[in-house]
Amino acid sequence: SLKRVTLVRQRSLRKVMRDHGQFSHFCKAHKLDMIEYTEDCNVFK
């Protein structure tokens, strides 16, 4: 009676961007500061 839903696991967007050397650009574009956790990090809400 259990309904199983299979989940696939894929590379995260962060990893994909990192692969292409784009993650730091993305952070700058969105004013993300993963180090100092400024209020701009609200993107993760």
Question: Applying CB under 8 A, which residues contact another protein?
Answer: 1-19, 23-24, 26-27, 30, 32-35, 37, 40-45
Minimum CB–partner distance for residue 11 and another protein (Å): 7
Q: How far is the CB of 2 from another protein (least distance, A)?
A: 5
Pairwise CA distance, residues 9 & 27, whole Å: 24
User: Largest Cα–Cα distance in the chain?
Assistant: 49
State in angstroms the smallest separation of the CB of 9 from another protein. 3
Q: Please report which helix (H) or strand (E) contains residue 26, including its range.
A: helix 23-29
